[in-house]
Structure 1
Amino acid sequence: MPASAASRAPREGAAAVLRFGRLAAMGTVAALILMAGVWASWGTAQHAMFTKGRERGAMTVTRCAGDVCTGPYTPTSGGSKARDRVEIERTVAVKRGQTYAVAVKPGSSAVVRTGPSGFLYAWVPFGGALLLASVVVAGGLGLSRLGWVLGGSGLALITAAFVVL
């Protein structure tokens, strides 16, 4: 075996190991970003999506202070009781004097929006994770088509949430 072929083999093996390490590391980072997005969204999304068996009703926002808006709750589902004061997270979409369809988080006086607007708004953190993961997938893994799909999906989710709100 010529000397040049013998010296090339260890370099090719090292390059393969480094390539595998990069793919494994970037794949792990992308997976962690997506899992974190789901985790961040799930706390609100579960109440907005699965309203069967939960207290559902309407909330009229009467006061906003800091990060929270409050108002009375009028039930629309069986087994739900009227409340003088419930709290909803203050966002740009929650306005004083408006009435929103909501579901009560079990064991608290906190409510989340339901319907298409509540569903989409709950998944906005996952949309951001899709955007961030698209950069990692396209740049770190070299899968540009998949990166475009992830980025486009995240952008569509975030845009739809703000259009519906």
Structure 2
Amino acid sequence: MIPAMPSAVFSSPAAGAVLRCGQRAVMGVVAALLVVGGVWASWGTAQHVMLTKGRERGTVTVTRCGAETCTGPFRPLSPGVARDRVVVDRSAGVRAGRTYTVVVKPNSDRAVRSGPAGVLFAWVPLGGALLLASVVVAGGMRLRRTAWVLAGAGVALLTAAFVAV
């Protein structure tokens, strides 16, 4: 405590209640921002996987993988053009020589995995955000049950994505 400040400022019950309320409000905003950030990060890929109407859907047979991406020929299953090469982000589940169902992003040669594995993998950033938000809710807001629900949802999403991919 600063010596020039009187201790009576923080000793009243009303001041303590205001500080606790302020702390919970700030931590609630931080937790909400974490979850919104997770949704925002996930939606960039999830929109292509979940809203496939009007998009090119097909299969890609991975022929070559680099450090961050894999490439291969694209065969359309919906109205579209066969391509000699599309790029898929490399993940733990993508291997050379295997065929995957994909959706091509509009006006590009980039593709994202589709189906249940693609949907779950697209929402992985949200799972991580839920885990981080659970720590903020438990520690900053002292809402342990809510934190356990958030953590459980995050772990379930990450586990499902791991199993599906």
**Normalising by the residue count of structure 1, what TM-score does the alignment of the two structures yield?**
0.92
**Correspondence list, 1:56-71, <5 A:** 56-71=57-72
Report what 1:144 is aligned to: 144
The one-letter code of the counterpart of 1:103 is V
Q: Which position in structure 2 is the counterpart of 1:4?
A: none
Asked whether 1:155 is paired with 2:155, we answer: yes
CA distance in 2: counterparts of 1:20 and 1:144, whole angstroms: 17
Q: CA deviation at 1:66?
A: 1.9
Q: Which residue of 2 aligns with 1:103?
A: 103
In structure 1, what is the Cα distance between the partners aligned to 2:157 and 2:132?
A: 13
Q: SS where residue 88 of structure 1 aligns?
A: strand
Letter in 2 for 1:40: A
> Deviating runs (4+, > 2 A) in structure 1?
none
Q: Which amino acid aligns with 1:126?
A: L
Q: Look up the equivalent residue of 2:32 and give its one-letter code.
A: A
Partner of 1:3: none
Residue 70 of structure 1 aligns to a residue whose secondary structure is: strand
Code of the aligned partner of 1:13: A
Q: Distance in 2 between the 1:51 and 1:121 partners?
A: 16
Q: Which runs of 5+ in 2 are unaligned?
A: 1-7
Q: Give the superposition deviation at 1:17.
A: 1.3
Q: C-alpha distance in 1, partners of 2:66/2:112? A: 17
Among all aligned residue pairs of Structure 1 and Structure 2, give the percentage whose two residues are the same amino acid: 61
C-alpha distance in 1 between matches for 2:51 and 2:100: 17
Residue 12 of structure 1 corresponds to: 13
Q: Quote the offset at 1:130 in angstroms.
A: 0.4
TM-score with structure 2 setting the length: 0.92
Q: Which residue of 1 aligns with 2:125?
A: 125
Alpha-carbon separation, structure 2, partners of 1:50 and 1:113: 13
- Partner Cα distance (1:139, 1:17) in 2: 18
Q: Which structure 1 segments of 5+ residues have no match?
A: 1-6
TM-superposed CA distance for 1:133, in Å, is 0.4
Partner SS state of residue 51, structure 1:
coil
